[in-house]
Amino acid sequence: MPCPRPLAALAAALVAAAAVPAVAEADGPKARIAQAAPVLPTPDDPGRTSTPGGWRELQWNFLAAEYGIDVEPAWARAAAAGRPGGRGVVVAVLDTGVAYRDHGRFRRSPDLVGTTFAKGWDFVDDDPYPDDHNGHGTHVASTIAERTNNGIAVTGIAYEATIMPVRVLDSRGEGDANVIAKGVRFAARNGADIINLSLEFPGTVRRSEIRGLLRAIRYAHRRGAVLVGASGNEAGKEVTYPARAPEVIAVGATTQHGCLSDFSNEGRGIDVVAPGGGADADLPDDPRCRLDLPPGLDIYQMTFIGRDPSRFGLPSGYEGTSMAVPHVSGVIALILATGVLGPDPTPERIRAHLKATARDLGAPGYDRRYGAGLISANAATASPFQALLTSSG
């Protein structure tokens, strides 16, 4: 299906912007240099303003400055590869459902009109209609694939990815391990490239209590799905399940200041961090953690106003490792779309690439607070040599 005219125009502009020469003449031999990050046309999404491009005032988390993921050059590279916005990549969102259609009291989010949805399932009510009963799942899905350059609200990371809505959490945001396991298997069997798990069990839950879910995770991993999970929101010293499973990329949360969010779990097994918003953690040895400053902004995407599934806006209050996880899922979609790792990279190769291209935070090298560092969409979609230079800044 052809993309809407504004999005097609943006894609064409991004392709042109990405066409930057990679070789410079020197005196004597030719010297190969890293391609400059493309200069991009700014999408016209207005955020809370009436001005095209106003999304930049809210979505610090997508920008190069203020410890965002630097997504704009990645948009250009995906467009240049012929798959703008991660077109063709399927991301399963296992959550409270998604506002993906008009049905009874439920309405499709205005900023998901035009988004492609794969067939999903509601494992809470056991029916084929995974409508969102909470708003959390719509927020998560919107971070991944909210429409971009459509003059509405804000932008999404992989704005042409396909979302597979899988409801495994109830209206309170709670779910049973066996229900979640069914959702994981469903996503893997139905062609999900990425499975987004913006959910956590209490830190007291042990492997022996969720064996069925861990088997499902291993099954999905063997089938080539990349699983991404939340480290947890208890400010604890251990990663919670399911992110603690070795097959899952474990994601912690950072603030607008580049500090660990005060709620984010840390510990052995953290792979990377991504923007989750909120206040800085009290870490006196980390100069980025500024308790003397007001907390940074939350994570903004279009979702319910309150709990009404027919009223949408850009509510505040969304912060958490749940919000960090879809940043990673969206960047992985762009990695797959650009083909920087080849046509069919394994989940472990993708994990290693994310870590290798992350922006180091905290102690030099890997640490238990930030893992390998803050993900960078720019570095992760560049060629290996470009990525080395980009991630070393």
pLDDT for 41 equals 80
Name the CA radius of gyration of the chain, rounded: 20
* Digitized pLDDT (tens) for each residue of the chain, 393 residues in all: 434 444 555 555 444 444 433 333 333 333 333 455 555 689 999 999 999 999 999 999 999 988 999 999 999 999 999 999 999 999 999 999 999 999 999 999 999 999 999 999 999 999 999 999 999 999 999 999 999 999 999 999 999 999 999 999 999 999 999 999 999 999 999 999 999 999 999 999 999 999 999 999 999 999 999 999 999 999 999 999 999 999 999 999 999 999 999 999 999 999 999 999 999 999 999 999 999 999 999 999 999 999 899 999 999 999 999 999 999 999 999 999 999 999 999 999 999 999 999 999 999 999 999 999 999 999 999 976 454 444 444
Q: Which helix (DSSP H) or strand (DSSP E) does residue 152 occupy?
A: none
pTM of the predicted model as reported, rounded to 2 decimal places? 0.90
Task: Tell me, yes or no, if 95 is annotated catalytic.
Answer: yes
**Pairing mode, strands 23-24 and 308-313:** unpaired
Q: What residue type is 262 in one-letter code?
A: D
Q: Is 127 a catalytic residue?
A: no
* b/e per residue 26-46 (b: at least 16 CB within 10 A): eeeeeeeeebebbebbebbbb
User: Which pLDDT does position 66 carry in this prediction?
Assistant: 86
Instruction: For residue 4, give both structure tokens.
Output: 């809407």
The domains of the chain, with CATH numbers, are: 5-14+40-391 (3.40.50.200)
Closest CA to 180 of 266, 253, 96: 96
**pLDDT value of residue 391:** 47
The DSSP-derived string for 7-74 is: HHHHHHHHHHHH----EE--SSS-EE-PPPPPP-PPP---TTSSSTTTHHHH-GGGSSSTT----HHH
Choose, from 322, 329, 376, 391, the residue flagged as catalytic: 322
- The pLDDT of residue 2 is 39
Q: Among 122, 131, 136, 139, which one carries the catalytic annotation?
A: 136
User: Which is catalytic among the residues 44, 45, 70, 95?
Assistant: 95
pLDDT digits (tens, 9 = 90+) for 16-60: 444 433 333 333 333 333 455 555 689 999 999 999 999 999 999
**Predicted confidence (pLDDT) per residue in 58-94, tens digit:** 999 999 988 999 999 999 999 999 999 999 999 999 9
* Pairwise CA distance, residues 36 & 389, whole Å: 11
Token reading at 5 = 């005219």
- Rounding to the nearest 10 degrees, give the CA dihedral for residues 323, 334, 227, 56: 0
Instruction: Say how far apart CA 52 and CA 62 lie, in whole Å.
Output: 16
